[in-house]
Structure 1
Amino acid sequence: MNTQSLTERLHAIRDANDWRQFHSPKNLAMAASVEMAELVEIFQWLSESQSRALPADKLEHAGQEIGDIVLYLLLLCAELGLDMDTVVRAKLAHSETRFAR
């Protein structure tokens, strides 16, 4: 995934719609949280086995919500001056060290 290219495309959409005024870090974090809640709602009341075997329509819906979350996080990284690839790799390296057996 080329996060720089994705961020550029997101900024083009943002700028064409004059949304930058709304894209503060606070608002983007809250928007990502709302999208996460929408993802959680898909799984609400499902058993463990049902959650692992979503029907096609729910699986597609889950993918859309995951996409929304990732896009908001890309925008948030850009607003904070963070590189998504760098922060994800750093966190993964930290987890590998912390949880290595």
Structure 2
Amino acid sequence: MEVSREQQAIREFADARDWGRFHTPKNLAMALAGEAGELLALFQWLTPEQSSEIMDTESADHVRDELADVFIYALRLSDVLDVDLGAAVASKLKKNASRYTVHDSFGNAEKR
């Protein structure tokens, strides 16, 4: 996963506005959680069926915007913390593959 171009664009956006001093790890993590909450609010009270069809409704643009906000803050936080997000995702997928083998997990949503 290559995200350096997006991270650079987000860094330049923040730097042009002198927001770097506000982009502490704590503040970025809180903003990320807030944006995730805004995304979650779009699904609150929907039935499972309605949530599966949300991209066929007038809410689709809002869902896209909130997903983008979550991704932007995740990228910015990883940039500020100097985390190679592509490597982190690859490492986490490897851990998950060991933890949730196809044999033991196929068709089973139980978490361990």
The interval holding the TM-score normalised by the smaller chain is over 0.9
Higher mean C-alpha deviation, range 41-50 or range 1-10:
1-10
Distance of 1:56 and 1:6 partners within structure 2:
28
Corresponding pairs, count: 101
Larger Cα Rg: Structure 1 or Structure 2? Answer: 2
2:50 alignment counterpart: 50
1:10 alignment counterpart: 10
Using the size of structure 2 for normalisation, the TM-score is: 0.86
Q: Which runs of 5+ in 1 are unaligned?
A: none
Q: How far is 1:57 from its partner?
A: 2.3
Using the size of structure 1 for normalisation, the TM-score is: 0.95
Query: Which 4+ stretches in 1 moved above 3 angstroms?
Result: none
Report the secondary structure of 2:58's partner residue.
helix
Report the secondary structure of 2:18's partner residue.
coil
Report the secondary structure of 2:27's partner residue.
helix
Q: How far is 1:2 from its partner?
A: 3.3
Q: How far is 1:79 from its partner?
A: 1.1
1:37 alignment counterpart: 37
Q: Which amino acid aligns with 1:19?
A: W
Distance of 1:56 and 1:3 partners within structure 2:
30
Which structure shows the higher helix fraction?
Answer: 1
Report the secondary structure of 2:42's partner residue.
helix
Distance of 2:65 and 2:50 partners within structure 1:
19
* RMSD across aligned positions (CA): 1.1
Distance of 2:79 and 2:94 partners within structure 1:
22
Distance of 1:90 and 1:66 partners within structure 2:
23
1:18-54 Cα shifts (integer Å, max 9, x gaps):
1001100000000000000000000011100000011
1:65 alignment counterpart: 66
2:21 alignment counterpart: 21
Q: Which runs of 5+ in 2 are unaligned?
A: 104-112
Report the secondary structure of 1:15's partner residue.
helix
Q: How far is 1:60 from its partner?
A: 1.7
Matched, 1:76 2:77: yes
